Amino acid sequence: MSTPEFSFRVLAQKGKARAGVIRTPHGEIETPIFMPVGTAGTVKGLTVDELAAPPLDARIILGNTYHLSLRPGTEVVAAHGGLHKMMAWNRPILTDSGGFQVFSLAALGKIDDDGVTFRSHIDGAKLRLTPERSIEIQATLGSDIAMAFDECPAGDAPPEVVAHALRRTTAWAARCLAAPRAPGQALFGIVQGGTDVALRRRHLGEIAAMDFDGIAIGGLSVGEAPAEMYRILDEFAHELPAERPRYLMGVGTPDDIRRAVAAGIDMFDCVMPTRNARNGMLFTSQGKVVISNARHRMDTGPLDPDCPCDACARYSRAYLRHLFMAQELLYMRLASLHNLTHYLRVVRALRAEILAG
């Protein structure tokens, strides 16, 4: 690995599943781990104290290069001394490179071999992202883990589009490695290849040969059927270098995470727990709950009797439903706190199972 301040150790393995520890400048991360998404420098609705306190106890969160470069702008983050200080968050941060926006905001952008030109989704202003600019922004943000700038093709993209994405992603990966980074900042490479395992293996050979501190799998959960994603993970995830953390980007449900951990993945992020919470979908040990359903109107019991979060320990399903139907802000805070607590408890339980053999 290229970054002395960053290290990874596997402590136990059961089948393909692994339990390990990542060391970063802002602390250690026990894996497998789920990273709450703080796209714009905040995990929506929650303070950093709530994120850090048990039972949620998030050890690392995620920020986004593209969004933070637009709002508040890198000059504002730099004036605070970096994203950690601006957010008042003293634990690790991983920043996405902006590469996913090549996919998600494709209608607003034009891609070429040098980079991507966007029109801002906020005001239409022109924005140019190249591998060097992405790393420059991430250096200003000061994240513990930066991501290489990549091209993420759609799940149903034709072979020629996927081939172009692989070629560009490999070329951009080398340019990211050559760009100056913040002191102590690790850099992860990203493997693409759509649903073709042979292409994934070929691209992995190119990315793994580079001096990245970790390897991510990109381009899944972007339109392909869940069964296809599971097939790729089962056949391929364990082939990522064993001595480096393996990160599955943008995935997914608790069941997706269980399947991916069993396939050998160490790190996850997804907007699902907070986005679904705001829209009334809650994950519990007894299954999904749609809080707007009329059957919860008179339910004075807890959302999840097995969950120690404030939403479950102090309030009833009926009260949560009332808050949701009345569009009270407290609902969004409690629901996000609950869903993230559930996700972190899922990965911690998986870790405990692996350590116990």
The residues that are catalytic are 96, 269
Q: Which residues contact 107 (CB under 8 A, 6 or more apart)?
A: none
How many whole angstroms separate alpha carbon 331 and alpha carbon 317? 11
Pull the structure tokens for residue 297: 């109107």
Given phi > 0 = left and psi -120 to 50 = alpha, else beta, which region is 139? alpha
Of 348, 332, 287, 353, nearest in space to 57 by CA: 348
Of 331, 256, 254, 314, nearest in space to 285 by CA: 254
- Cis check for the bond before 55: say yes or no (omega within 30 of 0): yes
Pull the structure tokens for residue 294: 């009329």
CB neighbour burial string for 158-176, b if at least 16 within 10 angstroms, e if fewer? eeeebbebbebbbebbebb
Residue with tokens 């320990």: 313
**DSSP E strands: which ranges in 89-139?**
93-96, 109-111, 116-119, 126-129
Q: What 3-state class would DSSP assign to 134?
A: helix
In terms of C-beta density within 10 A (0-12 exposed, 13-18 middle, 19 or more buried), how is residue 151 classed?
Answer: buried
Of 180, 343, 337, nearest in space to 256 by CA: 343
Question: Which residue stretches of 279-316 are H helix?
Answer: 310-314
Given phi > 0 = left and psi -120 to 50 = alpha, else beta, which region is 73? left
